[in-house]
Structure 1
Amino acid sequence: MTPLVSIVVPFHDEASGIDMFFAAVRPVMDARADVSWEVVCVDDGSRDDTLVRLIAQTRSDARVRVLELSRNFGKEAALTAGIDAARGQAVIPMDGDLQDPPSLLSPMLDAWRGGAEVVLARRSDRSRDSVARRHTAAWFYRLHNRLSKTQIPENVGDFRLMDRVVVDALRRLPERQRFMKGLFAWVGFRTVTLDYARPLRAVGRSRFSGVALWNFALEGFTGFSTAPLRIWTYVGAVFAALSLLYGGFILVHTILSGSRVPGYASLFVAVTFFGSVQLISIGLLGEYIGRIYMETKQRPIYLVRSTYTAQTPHASDPVLSR
Structure 2
Amino acid sequence: MTHASLTTSPDGTVSPFLSIVVPCFNEQEGIAHLVERCRASAATIFGDDYEVILIDDGSTDNTWDMIREEIGKCAQVTGIRLSRNFGHQIALTAGLAAVKGSVVLVIDADLQDPPELVGPMLQRMRETRADVVYGQRRSRAGEGWFKKKSASLFYRLLERTTDIIIPRDTGDFRLMSRRVADLVARMPERDRFIRGMVASLGFRQVPFVYDRQERFAGRTKYPLRKMVAFATDAFLGYSMVLLRFSSLAALGMFLVLLVVAGYSLYSWMYLEVVPGWTSLMISTILASLFQLVSLSIIGEYVGRIYLSSKERPLFVVDAIERRGHDGGEPAASAGVDPQARPPQGIET
- TM-score bucket (shorter structure): 0.7 to 0.9
Q: Which residue of 2 aligns with 1:48?
A: 61
Deviations 1:32-52 (A, max 9, x none): 246611011111011111111
Contact 1:177 1:291 in 2 (8 A): no
1:238 Cα deviation after fit: 1.4
Measured in 1, the distance between the counterparts of 2:238 and 2:118 equals 30
SS of residue matched to 2:175: strand
Match of 1:103 among 72, 91, 116: 116
Measured in 2, the distance between the counterparts of 1:221 and 1:57 equals 38
Q: Which residue of 2 aligns with 1:9?
A: 22
Match of 2:255 among 241, 245, 262: 241
Give aligned pairs, total.
288
With a CA cutoff of 8 Å and minimum separation of 6, indicate the structure with the bigger relative contact order: 1
Superposition map of 1:107-146 within 5 A: 107-114=120-127, 115-126=129-140, 128-146=142-160
Per residue, is there more helix in 1 or in 2?
1
Q: Structure 1: which amino acid aligns with 2:222?
A: F
1:134 Cα deviation after fit: 2.4
Match of 2:215 among 170, 176, 201: 201
1:145 Cα deviation after fit: 1.8
Q: Which residue of 2 aligns with 1:184?
A: 198
Deviations 1:150-203 (A, max 9, x none): 111111110001011212322332212211110011112222321111111111
SS of residue matched to 1:70: coil
User: Pairwise CA RMSD of aligned residues?
Assistant: 3.5
Q: Which residue of 1 aligns with 2:37?
A: 24
Superposition map of 1:28-107 within 5 A: 28-33=41-46, 36-107=49-120
Structure 2: gaps spanning 5 or more residues? 1-7, 9-14, 312-348
Measured in 1, the distance between the counterparts of 2:132 and 2:307 equals 30
Q: Structure 2: which amino acid aligns with 1:206?
A: T
Measured in 2, the distance between the counterparts of 1:239 and 1:214 equals 30
Contact 1:3 1:35 in 2 (8 A): no
Structure 1: gaps spanning 5 or more residues? 297-322
Structure 2 CA distance for partners of 1:16 and 1:127, relative to 1, 3 Å: closer
Structure 2 CA distance for partners of 1:225 and 1:96, relative to 1, 3 Å: same
Identity over the aligned pairs, expressed in percent? 34
SS of residue matched to 1:119: strand
Deviations 1:175-232 (A, max 9, x none): 1221111001111222232111111111122232333222222211221232443453
Deviations 1:110-156 (A, max 9, x none): 23344332111111113643333323222222222222111111111
Measured in 2, the distance between the counterparts of 1:189 and 1:21 equals 30
Measured in 2, the distance between the counterparts of 1:230 and 1:204 equals 41
Measured in 2, the distance between the counterparts of 1:157 and 1:47 equals 25
